[in-house]
Amino acid sequence: MAAVIAVPHRPTTHAPHPLALPGRPPLQVIPGGRRAARDHARASRPAGRLHPAVYQRRRLGVLAATITVIVVGYLALTGLGALLSPHSAGAAAAGASADAGASAAPSAAAGAASAAVYVVQPGDTLWSIARQLRPSGDIRPLVDALAERAGSGPLVAGAALAVDGLVD
């Protein structure tokens, strides 16, 4: 059995005490259990009004769509920032395609000039710089040489680190 509150239209009477709560409407017993109570609630709901669960599902869908748009936008912006960075692989490929039209001698001279100094980027370590300079093989001697040239303090982003004579 299920109990449903039926509110009959009654004239309002004032309570004798100002803090007294008005009486609750009597419960109406609907035979048939929960299914009958659902049917009664559906019948008593206004015609244009949807079930509250529909509104909840719609809100969850809008929330999921909003979070998806924010995440995709963030990833797109960080990816765009990585592509526009002067030390990214995309910029290196663009530079290589620009050098392809030039003669071999100027591009070799430009490569030698850029290899003489390394500009420290945020998050760089001596090990990551050494791995960029020597992609394969043992980099421990190169890390030691970079440590001597960098000094005893921490690496600072934007600082120029001389690497001439270190790369094979």
- The 10s digit of each residue's pLDDT in 149-168 is 888 888 888 888 888 888 76
Residue 15's pLDDT is: 52
Q: What is the DSSP letter of 20?
A: P
Mean model confidence pLDDT for the chain: 75
Residue 155: count other Cβ atoms within 10 Å of its Cβ: 20
Secondary structure (3-state) at 130:
helix
- Average pLDDT in the 34-51 region? 80
Secondary structure (3-state) at 30:
strand
pTM metric for this prediction: 0.33
Q: What is the DSSP letter of 124?
A: -
pLDDT of residue 54 exceeding 80: yes
- The total number of residues written for the chain in this structure: 168
Structure tokens at 77: 């912006």
- Average pLDDT in the 69-88 region? 80
Residue 67's pLDDT is: 96
Encoded amino acid at 96, one letter: A
pLDDT of residue 97 exceeding 60: no
* E runs forming strands in 34-162: 117-119, 160-162
Encoded amino acid at 159, one letter: A
State pLDDT tens for residues 109-147: 444 444 578 889 999 999 999 998 888 889 999 899 998
- Of 28 and 62, the structure prediction assigns the larger pLDDT to 62
Residue 86's pLDDT is: 65
CA distances from 134 to 52, 65, 85, 128, 140 (A): 63, 45, 21, 10, 11
Closest CA to 134 of 148, 123, 122, 145: 145
- DSSP element (H, E) containing 3: strand 2-5
Residue 38's pLDDT is: 82
Residue 28's pLDDT is: 73
